[in-house]
Structure 1
Amino acid sequence: MATRLPFVFVSAIMGWSALALQLYLLIVSNMEKGLPGIVGVMKFFDYFTILSNILVATVFTAIWLQRRDAGSFFTHPKVKTGVSVYIFITGIVYFLLLRQTWTPTGLWWLADVVLHYVMPVLYGVEWLFFTPKGQLRWHDTFRWAVFPFVYLLWALFWGAIFGFYPYPFIDVTTLGYPQALLNGVFVAIGFILMGLLLVAVDRRLGRKVKAIKQRDLA
């Protein structure tokens, strides 16, 4: 616990700082284009990367404020694992599909690295080493998939109104609805597979922990 608290504190600060930096950059870049700053704020919340990182920073903050593993919604193993699914898919999709679409520099590069690479790794450490294991069930995977599904519907609805799609693989203006929806299905499958993988790891580690406790009591 003595080692965990500084780690959680630094991770929370890093997460919120990167989010604040990204918000600032979006507001400034849109104002430089002659658009109101509120447009940058709206675009900020359009990105799944931002939403998943907000959840990650919230979990780290909840752990720090509570300083124990049980009794809080955001520190419950099922909630923490759902957030793991979101942030891991965020990092994987960005690395495989999106990093080639732009070349950030300066502060943009800093925010990009922290949100897409650093935070998934830090959260992976928290989930793997500090989250109690053995409490997940296979059907939890489909509950976790609800959030990204709702996000996809919202992104398509918002894009239809304002013409802005946060990711090229769901850009209806370029791809059309059939291809955009098909791409969304592929990403949804990725969420489900990641959830199943984490449940499998959780159950395996849970059995090991249980066996160790039984051996110690024998």
Structure 2
Amino acid sequence: MSNKLRAVVKKVEPMCSGFLRVNRYEVDVERHEGGWRTSRWEVMERGNSVAVLAYDPVRDELVLANEFRPGALVAGDYPFTDNLVAGGVADGESPLDAAVREMKEETGLELTHPILVHPGAFVSSGGTSEKIALVAGTVDASLASGALGNPDESEDILSVVLPAEEFIRRVREAEITDLKTLVAGYWLAERRARSTHWG
């Protein structure tokens, strides 16, 4: 396509301003077949985040976080899920620095040799402005134990250690239901198939 379509925000109306902010946007949107239309969308805004694929190359294991997920409960699914360690990226903080911080906060583990797998993809651009970056790094999985997390953020997080092949099997057999964790699992499987590593 030679000409990019345009969209112009005309009005922003705050709907909710708790931990998550929801705004209603009135937007003039250029149509694919010519002309314009005015539409209204409600968009959830909470800033950007990072997810961490934490791998122990000595033990060939991964460290995940098991915690209560309210969205899964509301959807009628089992709400205690195994996911990548993840959290918000503060203003002025890089995804790599946020990954190291979140790993320490949620598991007590030091993340070393972090690399940026993806700088940030939309979680669901039809309803939220949030982008999530994916970082991979190494940890000592033998040190993972107990439940941690920030109680001020209602976190109660149990570290889960899985053999890499078991993690990939759970991804492929749809036992993992968290999208960022699925993406990281397929990335890891592709790396292992090509016998390439990071760090």
Query: TM-score, length-normalised on structure 1?
Result: 0.30
| Structure with more helix by fraction | 1
| Structure with more strand by fraction | 2
Query: TM-score, length-normalised on structure 2?
Result: 0.32
